[in-house]
C-alpha cells in the first residue's frame, strides 16, 4: 500500500496539470494509456482507494462512480463546464468539486468581442472575397460595408466572471451595456451597466450575448419566444454554454429573419453535424468551442488546477469550489500525504 496521495485521472488532461504534482513528490498518479479514457467500470474499480479524482473533458462522472470512492476527498477538473459530473452526488457525499471558473476569463471575453467584430464587419465573407480574386476584379459585394460597434447596445445574459469582463470590453469600445442576472451586480451598476428584465434586454439590445451557465433553470433559456422578442437587426452571441439555447429555434429565427446574425463558440450539439443548416448560412459565424483555448489561459488552468490540489492537501482550502455546501456537510475525508 502506497504512503502517497493517490490521484486518479479519468482520461487525457491539460498537459500543465501534472508537472507541479510530480515535482511536489507526494502524489501517486494513476491514469489510462495516452489518449484514452477509463470506462465507467474501470473508474468504479480504480477509484476505491483514490483520494483525488481529476476529471478529463468528456468523462462522465456518475453517482455510482463517486460512491465507489471510499477515500475520495476532492473531485477537480482543469476546465469550466461540468455537465458531465454529478455535482449533487458530490455534495451529498461531502466531496468538494472544483473547476477553473475564475481562470481564463480574459480569453473567453476576448473571443466574444472578436466574434462581435467579425460579425459586424463581415470578416469571413470579406476574407473569402479577397482570396477568391474579388478584390482584384473590384466586384461589388453587399458585405463590403459593415457596421461600427461604437454606439451599439450590448445586452448580456449572465454577469459572472466572463459576462462582467465582456461588459467592460464592450464599454471600452463605446457600447452601452444592459445585463440580466439572478442578482443585481452593484459594481457593474456603479460602472454604468444597467440591470433590466429579459424582455427589456431582448427589445433594446443590438447584440444579445449569452454568457449563462448551464443549470436546470437555464437549459434552452433562449428559446423561440426569446428570439421573437429580439430586434430583427440583432446579433446573437453565445460564449456561455451551448445547451442554454434551443438551436432549432435559433436556426429558424435566422432563417425567417427574426434576427440578423449569430456568432457561436458553443452549441448544444458539439461538434455540430457537418450537414447542419447553420453551416450553410452566411450570417452565422461558428468557432469550435475555443473560448478558453489560448496558450496563456491553458497554462493558467493547468497550473491553477495543480495549485488547488496542493492547497487542498496542505489544508489551505480550495478555490472555484462549485458546491461549497459540501465542505459543511461533513468533515472532509483525510487525504494522507
Could you give the residue numbers annotated as active site? 241, 270, 289
The C-alpha cell of 264 is what?
A: 457561436
Measured in whole angstroms, the distance separating CA 44 from the mean position of its chain's CA atoms is 28
Measured CA to CA, the distance from residue 8 to residue 30 in angstroms comes to 5
Neighbours of 272 (CB within 10 A): 17
Alpha-carbon distance 304 to 297, whole Å?
A: 10
Q: Grid coordinates representing 306?
A: 495543480
Burial class, 130, CB count within 10 angstroms (exposed 0-12 / middle 13-18 / buried 19+): exposed
Burial readout 189-216 (b: 16 or more C-beta within 10 A, e: otherwise): eeeebebbeeeebbebbbbbbbbbbbee
Mark out the alpha helices in 145-246 (DSSP H runs). 161-172, 186-190, 198-204, 224-229
259 contacts 74 by C-beta, under 8 angstroms: no
Q: How far apart are CA 96 and CA 323, in angstroms?
A: 6
Amino acid at each position: 500500500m502506497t504512503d502517497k496521495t493517490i490521484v486518479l485521472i479519468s482520461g487525457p488532461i491539460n498537459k500543465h496539470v501534472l508537472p507541479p504534482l510530480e515535482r511536489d513528490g507526494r502524489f501517486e498518479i494513476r491514469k489510462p494509456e495516452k489518449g484514452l479514457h477509463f470506462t465507467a467500470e474501470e473508474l468504479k474499480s480504480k477509484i476505491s482507494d483514490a483520494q483525488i479524482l481529476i476529471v478529463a473533458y468528456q468523462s462522465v462522472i456518475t453517482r455510482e462512480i463517486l460512491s465507489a470512492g471510499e477515500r475520495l476527498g476532492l473531485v477537480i477538473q482543469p476546465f469550466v463546464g461540468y455537465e458531465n459530473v454529478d455535482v449533487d452526488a458530490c455534495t451529498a457525499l461531502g466531496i468538494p468539486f472544483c473547476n477553473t471558473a475564475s481562470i481564463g476569463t480574459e480569453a473567453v471575453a476576448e473571443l466574444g468581442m472578436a466574434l462581435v467584430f467579425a460579425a459586424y464587419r463581415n470578416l469571413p465573407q470579406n476574407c473569402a472575397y479577397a482570396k477568391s480574386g474579388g478584390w482584384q476584379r473590384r466586384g461589388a459585394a453587399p458585405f463590403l460595408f459593415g457596421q461600427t460597434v461604437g454606439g451599439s447596445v450590448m445586452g448580456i445574459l449572465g454577469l459572472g466572471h466572463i459576462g462582467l469582463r465582456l461588459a467592460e470590453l464592450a464599454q471600452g469600445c463605446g457600447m452601452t451595456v444592459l445585463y440580466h442576472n439572478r442578482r443585481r451586480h452593484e459594481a457593474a451598476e456603479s460602472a454604468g451597466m444597467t440591470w433590466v428584465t429579459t424582455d427589456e434586454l431582448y427589445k433594446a439590445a443590438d447584440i444579445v450575448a449569452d454568457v449563462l451557465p448551464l443549470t436546470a433553470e437555464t437549459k434552452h433559456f433562449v428559446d423561440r419566444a426569446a428570439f421573437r422578442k429580439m430586434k430583427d437587426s440583432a446579433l446573437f452571441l453565445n460564449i456561455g454554454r451551448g445547451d442554454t439555447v434551443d438551436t432549432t429555434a435559433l436556426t429558424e429565427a435566422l432563417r425567417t429573419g427574426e434576427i440578423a446574425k449569430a456568432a457561436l463558440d458553443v452549441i448544444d450539439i458539439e461538434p455540430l453535424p457537418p450537414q447542419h443548416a447553420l453551416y450553410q448560412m452566411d450570417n452565422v459565424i461558428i468557432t469550435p468551442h475555443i473560448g478558453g483555448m489560448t496558450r496563456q489561459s491553458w497554462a493558467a488552468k493547468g497550473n491553477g488546477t495543480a495549485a488547488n490540489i496542493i492547497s487542498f492537501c496542505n489544508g489551505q482550502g480550495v478555490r472555484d469550489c462549485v458546491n461549497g455546501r459540501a465542505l459543511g456537510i461533513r468533515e472532509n475525508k483525510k487525504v494522507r500525504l
